[in-house]
Amino acid sequence: MSESRTPLSLLAYPRPSVAADTAALTVAGDDLMVLVVRRREEHHAGEWALPGTFLRERETLAGAVLRSLRDKAGIEGRVPQQLHVFDDPGRDDRGWTLSVAHVDAVPFRDLETPLQSDDVRLASVTADTDLIAGLPYGHADMVRLAVERLRQDYLQTPDPAGLLPEPFTLKDLRDLHEAVAGRPLMRDTFRRVMEPQLTGTGQMSDGTRGRPSRLWRRRS
């Protein structure tokens, strides 16, 4: 007859704190940028960081992410995607903390109100490398991985995150993809890949930015 065992309480196991951080990316002009917020908490107070928070009791990760974006960056109505779990035991000098990092690509027009705050700004992933490298809690690694994810998404698909208002010209679309990629793209190759995935509107641009060009929409 087997000996019955009393199940161990979960309190018998060591538990890390759990954080949720979000790399919110956007394109402003011809630059790929990430949103950072000024920390109000005592730890690293006044420094820039990704919007993030600790998971509250009985709270979902998705709920924590939306709460941090709302309370720290003034952003609402988004659906960030999980990116990666950062579990280096030394990533947070306050103690053992793992972070479930998230990523979201946000149209610049949706950030105009949040950016009116002095505690919210955009950092260029190419020009503000020192600022990004100095982000606390391993946030620089989160930004790097988020940028890699977004660039991969944009390789073969026209503006999958919907950063560009419709309708648009092929040049508008290529300019956006070049900003995401961080490099020039061959015009003819880009057109061959993207045009079959677009639907023409039958209209032309007004010519205020060069010659009139065909207008397109993304296929649904």
Q: Write out pLDDT tens, residues 156-195.
A: 999 999 999 999 999 999 999 999 999 999 999 999 999 9
- State the Cα–Cα distance between residues 10 and 85, nearest whole angstrom: 22
Whole-prediction pTM: 0.90
Q: Per the structure block, which two tokens stand in for 74? A: 């003034």
State the pLDDT at residue 41: 79
DSSP code at position 165: P
Determine the pLDDT at residue 11: 78
R_g over Cα of the chain = 21
Single out the residue of 188, 209, 198 nearest to residue 158, CA to CA: 198
Please give the domain boundaries of the chain with CATH numbers for all domains.
Answer: 17-154 (3.90.79.10), 168-218 (1.10.10.10)
Provide the pLDDT for residue 182.
97
Tell me the three state secondary structure of residue 172: helix
More confident position, 140 or 210: 140
* pLDDT band for position 204 (cuts 50, 70, 90): confident
| 109 three-class SS | helix
Report how far apart, in Å, the C-alpha atoms of 26 and of each of 53, 70, 180 are.
Answer: 21, 17, 9
pLDDT top residue among 4 and 31: 31
How far is the C-alpha of 90 from the C-alpha of 30, rounded, in Å?
36
Residue 200, both tokens: 């023409």
CB 76 within 8 A of CB 67: no
Determine the Cα–Cα distance for residues 143 and 103; give it in Å rounded to an integer: 9
Question: Which tokens in the block code for residue 57?
Answer: 């009791």
Percent of the chain with pLDDT over 90: 77
- pLDDT for position 49: 96
pLDDT 10s digits, 27-40:
999 999 999 999 98
Q: What is the mean pLDDT of residues 38-45?
A: 84
Task: Check: CB of residue 142 under 8 Å from CB of residue 100.
Answer: no
**What average pLDDT score do residues 199-216 get?**
83
State the Cα torsion 206-209-211-214 to the nearest 10°: -60
Please report how many Cα atoms fall inside a 13 Å half-sphere around the Cα of residue 35, on the Cβ side. 33
